[in-house]
Amino acid sequence: MAGEMTILGSAVLTLLLAGYLAQQYLPLPTPKVIGIDLGTTYCSVGVFFPGTGKVKVIPDENGHISIPSMVSFTDSDVYVGYESLELADSNPQNTIYDAKRFIGKIFTPEELEAEVGRYPFKVLNKNGMVEFSVTSNETITVTPEYVGSRLLLKLKEMAEEYLGMPVANAVISVPAEFDLKQRNSTIEAANLAGNNKLGGQDFNQRLLQYLYKQIYQTYGFLPSRKEEIHRLRQAVEMVKLNLTLHQSAQLSVLLTVEEKDKKEPQNSDTDLPKDRFSPADGHHVNSVVGAGLSEKKSGESQVLFETEISRKLFDNLNEDLFQKILVPIQQVLKEGHLEKTEIDEVVLVGGSTRIPRIRQVIQEFFGKDPNTSVDPDLAVVTGVAIQAGIDGGSWPLQVSALEIPNKHLQKTNFN
């Protein structure tokens, strides 16, 4: 009897060992759930691969691993991402961006009036909620949720093309300070796109306000053409990016002015920066945007507005905003009953954390250098892809995500 038990035990052990060894040669299961970072400025989508434990951030058809959060409406079609970005200059009034700022949020008339001035497209007030007026064969209104759904649909299509199979479920990241209505509005956007599972412009605005003052002091007018305002915003974004790598950046934008409003520049040509360097020189980078793109009418002329922006100037314009970054950090530590000395590692998330002064503020607060090994633009999508793997029952996974209760967590107001 004992001999039979030994033989049986050996057989079971052999089968288990054979199964374990054979498992290594079986094809890995296809991910069932995708992870989506629906960002204000850029979006991305990723998957967690069972077996290998690796996360893949999925590129679009041109190899971009994130796409602009922009949607353009034309008479022939609706364009999303980089296709929308290409239309932004020629079709600014029908190119919607920053829709996430409005999703599920109720505004007072005063708050909405302050927001409207930021954008070249028409923002409407519908009982405190925002809608956008666009022209596509006819004038229509679209909601922020609809704009979000077009972005999600594009990301879903990218994932399906990469995986070679339909995708029905997604984990979508939402900001921690989103209330229930805003989270439900994100779910609504996901449902419109066919997904059924939930998962800084502020620094630019300070620089834009500074440039408006410079333009007015120099030429005596303010930009009014929507396409030129959009190009100026693009130039500001490029300057911000260049200043993460260099000490200064050159900005040049061609502007149209009516002759009756035009005055001679207060600065002579000799006052304009002449020392132009390429990125390889490590000093500063040109951002020449939109020269020759505006149509000039009778009684109008064009001026080339040029200025050099130093990193020190950019930091001074935004210093109070940079300090406000510590407010939510302190709140999270308080909610978690943690001292900052108890934090082992700080991982930066979001493209704005590339700004050197932000990294310095965080380093000074925690007394240690933040971890910059993770691409801040891809940190969120990597996290939600792992969470998607958890929800899809993927392996190997020994961790899960823990959400800190956000009832006392509020977004820092940078305005």
Tell me the per-residue pLDDT of 138-164, one tens digit each, with 9 for 90 and over. Answer: 889 999 989 999 999 999 999 999 998
Q: How far is CA 123 from the centre of its chain?
A: 21
Q: How confident is the model at residue 221 (pLDDT cuts 50, 70, 90)?
A: confident
Summarize the confidence of residues 347-362 as an average pLDDT. 88
pLDDT of residue 136: 82
Alpha helices in 303-352 (DSSP H): 311-324, 326-335
**DSSP result, 368-390:** S--B-SS-TTTHHHHHHHHHHHH
Residue whose entry in the numeric block shows the structure tokens 């900052």: 340
CATH superfamily ID and name for 322-375: ATPase, nucleotide binding domain (3.30.420.40)
- Within 8 A by CB and 6+ apart from 414, the residues are 200, 202, 203, 321, 324
Return the half-sphere exposure (C-beta side, CA atoms, 13 A cut-off) of residue 192.
18
Residue whose entry in the numeric block shows the structure tokens 């199964």: 19
pLDDT of residue 362: 94
- Candidate from 105-114, 311-320, 325-334, 405-414 with smallest mean pLDDT: 405-414
* pLDDT above 70 (res 397): no
Share of the chain above pLDDT 90, in %: 28
* pLDDT above 60 (res 413): no
Summarize the confidence of residues 165-170 as an average pLDDT. 85
pLDDT of residue 262: 56
Summarize the confidence of residues 281-298 as an average pLDDT. 45
Q: How confident is the model at residue 197 (pLDDT cuts 50, 70, 90)?
A: very low
What are the backbone angles phi and psi of residue 236, rounded to the nearest 5°? -60, -45
Degrees to nearest 5, angle at CA 229 with 320 and 219: 85
- Candidate from 46-55, 99-108, 209-218 with smallest mean pLDDT: 46-55
Summarize the confidence of residues 241-247 as an average pLDDT. 90
What are the tokens at 147? 């704009």
* pLDDT above 80 (res 283): no
Summarize the confidence of residues 250-257 as an average pLDDT. 88
User: Where is pLDDT greater, at 221 or 263?
Assistant: 221
- Candidate from 13-22, 320-329, 341-350, 378-387 with smallest mean pLDDT: 13-22
* pLDDT above 60 (res 322): yes
pLDDT of residue 220: 87
pLDDT of residue 59: 94
Average pLDDT score over the chain: 77
CATH class of segment(s) 202-317: alpha beta
* pLDDT above 70 (res 370): yes
The pTM (predicted TM-score) of the whole model is: 0.62
Residue whose entry in the numeric block shows the structure tokens 């190997």: 396
DSSP three-state, residue 249: strand
* pLDDT above 60 (res 411): no
Which residues of the chain are in CATH 3.30.420.40 domains?
322-375
The secondary structure of residue 279, as a DSSP letter, is G
pLDDT of residue 379: 81
pLDDT in tens, 50-107: 777 788 999 999 999 999 999 999 988 999 999 999 998 889 999 999 998 888 888 8
pLDDT of residue 387: 80
User: Where is pLDDT greater, at 246 or 349?
Assistant: 246
Amino acid at 93: Q
Amino acid at 189: A
**What are the beta bridge partners of residue 79?**
72
Measured between alpha carbons, how far is 232 from 158 in angstroms, rounded to an integer?
31
User: Where is pLDDT greater, at 109 or 284?
Assistant: 109
pLDDT of residue 372: 84
- Candidate from 112-126, 265-279, 390-404 with smallest mean pLDDT: 265-279
Q: How confident is the model at residue 211 (pLDDT cuts 50, 70, 90)?
A: very high
Residue whose entry in the numeric block shows the structure tokens 């834009």: 208
- Candidate from 286-290, 334-338, 377-381 with smallest mean pLDDT: 286-290
Q: How confident is the model at residue 27 (pLDDT cuts 50, 70, 90)?
A: low
Which residues of the chain are in CATH 3.90.640.10 domains?
202-317
- Candidate from 17-26, 39-48, 184-193, 287-296 with smallest mean pLDDT: 287-296
